Amino acid sequence: NICLLFSWATIVLLSLTRIPGRYLTHQEGLPKLPVPPLNQTCDRYLAVLEPIIESEELNQTRTLVEEFQRPGGVGERLQQGLERRAHKAENWLSDWWLQMAYLDYRMPVVIHSSPGVVLPRLEFSDRQGQIRYAAKLIAGVLDFKTMIDNETLPVEYLGGRPLCMSQYYRVLSSCRIPGIKSDSVVNYASNKTPPRHITVVHNFQFYVLDVYNSDCTPLTVDQLYVQLEKICNSSLQTNKEPVGILTSNHRNSWGKAYANLIRDKTNKESVRAIQKSIFTVCLDAPMPRASDDMYRTRAAVQMLHGGGSRWNSGNRWFDKTLQFIVGEDGACGLIYEHAPAEGPPIVALIDHVVEYTKKSDIVRTPMAPLPMPQKLCFNISPELKKDIEEAKQNMNIMVQDLDMKVHVFSYFGKNIPKSYKLSPDAFIQVALQLAYYRMYQHCCATYESASLRMFRLGRTDTIRSASVDSATFVRAMDDQSIQNSEKVALLEKAVKAHRAYTDMAIRGQAIDRHLLGLKLQAIEDLSALPDIFMDTSYAVANHYNLSTSQVPAKTDCVMCFGPVVPDGYGVCYNPMEEHINFAISAFNSCADTSATRLAHALEDALLDMKALLEQTPKAKL
Ligand SMILES: *[C@@H]1O[C@H](CO)[C@@H](O)[C@H](O)[C@H]1NC(C)=O
Ligand SMILES: *[C@@H]1O[C@H](CO)[C@@H](O)[C@H](O)[C@H]1NC(C)=O
Ligand SMILES: *[C@@H]1O[C@H](CO)[C@@H](O)[C@H](O)[C@H]1NC(C)=O
Ligand SMILES: *[C@@H]1O[C@H](CO)[C@@H](O)[C@H](O)[C@H]1NC(C)=O
Ligand SMILES: *[C@@H]1O[C@H](CO)[C@@H](O)[C@H](O)[C@H]1NC(C)=O
C-alpha cells in the first residue's frame, strides 16, 4: 500500500455528491479511540526513555514503573477508570486534551500556540493588487464553505480508512474567548441564524463585511473588491489604537482586560461581531523589504506575530480561529488559533483557495450598489489604553525573542527516499535526529504529531522520533571505524523503527496520550499523583527540545510555529516531490539554540544520508 508506506499524511480524497446528514452518519461509523493495554504502554515508555535518559536514572524509573503496573496496584485502578470513561464518552481524550493543551494553557497564543502558514509571494506591490487578491481569496474560502454547509466535503482516507471530519466543521465562524484562569471556544456555524459576515481589518480598524447577497449567493469577486476598497478608503488614518493587540497578551492578563473591555456596550457588540464572523481578513501594511532568499523567513514572522506594534501586530484578532493575511507588498498567508483544529484541515482549505484564486477572472455582472461595510467602534478608557500599551510592550519583547528561519532544501524531496523504498517522513525525522546529535552530542525528547483522526473526534498523539534505533544510527554515522554498509543498515533500521512507531500511533497505540490520561484520571479521582509522574525521567521525556510536525500541502507553502520549551526548536515541514520546505524556530534568549545553525545541520544531514545510500551498492540493501 503506497499510501501507508510513504506517508501517513498522504490523504486520499473521494469526491462524493450531496447526501443530507452524511456527515453525521459518517462520524457515527468511525471507531472509538481505544485505551491501550497498561503493560504495553509501560514497556514502550521505558523503551522511549532509553536514548534520552542516563542509565542510572533509568534504573530508578524502571522500579517506579514496575511498582505502578503491579497487579492490584495504582496503575490497574487508573486504567479501569480510564476504560470506564472510554466506554461512556464519544472520545475519552478529546475534552481533556482541548482543555489541557489549549484552553488551560496560559502563555500567549502568539508564537506559543497559533501556527502560521506562508504562501508563495504574490506578484503585486500596491493596494489594488492587494484588494483584488483578497477578494479572490475570500471568494475561494466561501466556495470551500459551500462544501461544508452542504455536507459535500469529500471524506478523507488514510491507509484505506476513513478519517474524522469534525475539525472542518469547527474552523469557520468560531473564536477563542479569554478567561481569567481558563479560556473557551465559541462556534456559531450551527446557530439557527449562522453568520453571513466576515471581519476585515486594515490600519488596526475592524469592519463587518457581509459576504452574502439577499438571495444567499456569495458576493462575487468584483463585489468583494468594491467593498474592500470602501473599507480601505475609510480607514486611511493610521493613528488608531490597536485594540486587537490585546489578544496577543498572556491569557490571564488578556482575560482581565477582556472583562474590562466588554463592560462597555459598544465594545461588547464590536467584539461579538468579530467572534461571530466566518473568518477574518487582515489587510496588512507593507513590511520592510527583504531579499528574495529572505522573503519566506520574513513572511513567516509576519504570519506568526505581525512584526511588532510598529508594524502589523495590531492588525489582528489572535483569538479568531482563522485569519487570512494579505499584505500590500504581496506577502500572503494565514494564522490560525490552534484549539479547534490541527494543520492538515487548514492546509486542505488553503490548497482549495489557492487553486480557486488561479482561475481566470469571473465574468463581470452588473452590480447593484451594496451598503458601506459597518465599522466596528471601540471606546478606549484610560485603563484599556494602559492594557494596550502593556500588550504592545510584551508583543515587542516576543518579536525580539523569536529566532525564525524558513529554509527551502532544494537538493531533493520525497523522490529520493522513495527511490530507496524509505518513508520520506521517517527519513526526514532521522535526518533531524542526526542534525541535532551533531550539534549537541546527545539525543533529546522529540515530538512529532501523529493524527488520531481514524477515530471519532480524534486529534493527535506523539510520535517519539528519538528511538533506540535512531540513537544507534546517529552515533555510528560519523564514526570512522564503522563500515558504510553497516551504517546503511542502521539508517534503514532507524527509518523503519520510525515508520513502525508512526503506524502504532495512528492506530491509537502510542504512549503519550495514554500516560496523560492515567495522570488526569488520578487527578479526577482526587488520589495522589503516582510516582512515575513525579519522576525526573517523566519531566525530561516531556521537555521537547525538538517539537516537529509534517504538514504536507499541494501548494508550495510551509506552516510554522514556535518552540514549546525555552531551550528548544519548533520544526515544521512540507515535503514536496523535489524539494522540502522547512520552517525552523528557536528563541534568541537561549544562547544554545540557533534556527540558522539547525537549518544548516539539517541540510548537511539530509545530503550525507543521501550520499551514504548512493555510495553503497543497492544490492547490499
Ligand atoms: C500484557 O498483558 C496481557 C495479559 O494481561 C498479555 O496477554 C500480554 O502479552 C502482555 N503484553 C505485554 C507487551 O507484555
Ligand atoms: C541498572 O540495572 C541493571 C540490572 O537491573 C544493572 O545491571 C546495571 O548495572 C544498573 N545500572 C546502573 C547505572 O545502575
Ligand atoms: C450547495 O449549496 C448551494 C447554496 O448554499 C446551492 O446553491 C447548491 O445547489 C448546493 N449544492 C449541492 C450539491 O447541494
Ligand atoms: C476609493 O478612493 C479612490 C481614490 O480617492 C476612488 O477613486 C475610489 O472610487 C474609491 N472607491 C470606493 C469604492 O469608494
Ligand atoms: C534540551 O533538553 C535537555 C534536557 O532537558 C537540556 O539539558 C538541554 O539543555 C536542552 N537544550 C539543548 C539545546 O540541548
Same structural domain, 418 and 304: no
**C-alpha cell of residue 412:** 531533493
Nearest Cα to 558, choosing from 417, 355, 445, 404? 404
Same structural domain, 197 and 249: yes
Cα of 40 from ligand 1 centre, angstroms: 7
- Which bound ligand lies closest to the C-alpha atom of 563? 5
Same structural domain, 243 and 312: yes
pLDDT at res. 4? 31
Which contacts of 169-173 are long-range, i.e. CB under 8 A and separated by 24 or more positions? 169/23, 170/321, 170/340, 170/341, 171/321, 171/322, 171/336, 171/340, 171/341, 171/345, 171/346, 171/349, 172/145, 172/148, 172/278, 172/279, 172/321, 172/322, 173/276, 173/277, 173/278, 173/279
Identify the active-site residue in 338, 352, 407, 514.
Answer: 338
CATH of the domain at 369: 3.30.559.70
**Residue where one domain finishes, among candidates 374, 401, 428:** 401
Cα of 521 from ligand 2 centre, angstroms: 32
Cα of 480 from ligand 2 centre, angstroms: 30
Give the DSSP H/E element, type plus range, for residue 348: helix 343-358
Residue 300, amino acid:
A
Binding residues for CoA: 414, 418-425, 451, 499, 550
Strands 460-464 and 446-451: antiparallel
**Residue where one domain finishes, among candidates 401, 433, 455:** 401
Atom of ligand 1 nearest to the CA of 40: 13
CA 363 → CA 124, 142, 187, 213, 387, distances in Å? 22, 17, 34, 17, 48
Same structural domain, 94 and 191: no
Same structural domain, 182 and 224: yes
Residue span of the structural domain in which 262 resides:
107-401
Residue nearest to atom 12 of ligand 4 (CA): 230
For the segment 213-240, what is each residue's pLDDT rounded down to a tens digit? 988 899 999 999 999 999 999 998 777 8
Which residues pair with residue 177 across a beta bridge? 184
Burial of 72: CB neighbours in 10 Å, binned 0-12, 13-18, 19+: exposed
Q: Count Cα atoms within 13 angstroms, Cβ side, for 410.
A: 4
* 99 DSSP assignment: I
Answer whether 312's CB lies under 8 Å from 248's CB.
no
CA-based diameter of the chain, in Å?
Answer: 79
Answer whether 417's CB lies under 8 Å from 427's CB.
yes
302 lies in a domain? yes
5 lies in a domain? no
Q: What is the dihedral of CA 395, 397, 399, 405, to 10 degrees?
A: -150
Same structural domain, 195 and 285: yes
Q: Is the sign of the CA dihedral 273, 274, 277, 281 positive or negative?
A: positive
Which residues in 558-594 are b (16+ Cβ under 10 Å) and which e? bbbbbbbbeebbbbbbbbbeebbbbbbbbbeebeebb
3-state helix, strand, coil in the chain (%, to 5): 45, 15, 40
Residue nearest to atom 4 of ligand 5 (CA): 540
Atom of ligand 4 nearest to the CA of 233: 1
Binding residues: 414, 418-425, 447, 449, 451, 460, 499, 550
Residues with CB under 6 Å of ligand 5 are: 440, 444, 540, 543, 545, 567, 592-593
pLDDT at res. 362? 62
Nearest 5°: the CA angle 374, 375, 377 is 135
608 lies in a domain? yes
Residue nearest to atom 9 of ligand 5 (CA): 567
All residue ranges of the chain with pLDDT < 50 are: 1-18, 619-621
Cα of 146 from ligand 3 centre, angstroms: 7
Cα of 150 from ligand 3 centre, angstroms: 6
- Which bound ligand lies closest to the C-alpha atom of 53? 5
1 lies in a domain? no
Q: What are phi and psi of 572, to 5 degrees?
A: -120, 145
Residue 432, amino acid:
L
7 lies in a domain? no
Strands 184-187 and 174-177: antiparallel
326 lies in a domain? yes
Residue 368: how many other CB atoms lie within 10 Å: 8
Residue nearest to atom 9 of ligand 3 (CA): 150
Ramachandran sector of residue 283 (left: φ over 0; alpha: ψ -120 to 50; beta: rest)? beta
419 Cβ neighbours under 8 A, 6+ residues apart: none
**Residue where one domain finishes, among candidates 343, 368, 401:** 401
12 lies in a domain? no
Binding residues for (R)-carnitine: 447, 449, 460
Specify the number of domains making up the chain.
2
435 Cβ neighbours under 8 A, 6+ residues apart: 598, 601, 602, 604, 605
* 105 DSSP assignment: -
Answer whether 586's CB lies under 8 Å from 594's CB.
yes
Residue 208: how many other CB atoms lie within 10 Å: 20
Q: What are phi and psi of 333, to 5 degrees?
A: 170, -150
Tell which one of 39, 46, 79, 514 to mutate to probe ligand 1, the residue whose CB is within 8 A of the most ligand atoms.
39
Residue 63 beta carbon below 6 angstroms from any ligand 2 atom: no
CATH of the domain at 574: 3.30.559.10
Residue nearest to atom 1 of ligand 1 (CA): 39
Cα of 61 from ligand 2 centre, angstroms: 12
pLDDT at res. 355? 93
Cα of 147 from ligand 3 centre, angstroms: 8
Atom of ligand 5 nearest to the CA of 440: 14
**C-alpha cell of residue 51:** 536514548
Same structural domain, 353 and 276: yes
Same structural domain, 88 and 174: no
pLDDT at res. 23? 79
208 Cβ neighbours under 8 A, 6+ residues apart: 197, 199, 273, 277, 373, 374, 376
Q: Give CA 8 to chain center in angstroms.
A: 17
Same structural domain, 471 and 597: yes
Q: Is the sign of the CA dihedral 58, 64, 68, 69 positive or negative?
A: positive
Same structural domain, 377 and 461: no
Residue nearest to atom 1 of ligand 4 (CA): 233
Active site residue 112: no
363 lies in a domain? yes
Cα 12 to Cα 200: distance, rounded to the nearest angstrom:
34
Residue nearest to atom 10 of ligand 3 (CA): 150
Atom of ligand 2 nearest to the CA of 54: 13
Same structural domain, 186 and 44: no
Same structural domain, 458 and 573: yes
Residue 410, amino acid:
S
Cα 404 to Cα 602: distance, rounded to the nearest angstrom:
15
pLDDT at res. 620? 44
**C-alpha cell of residue 118:** 506562508
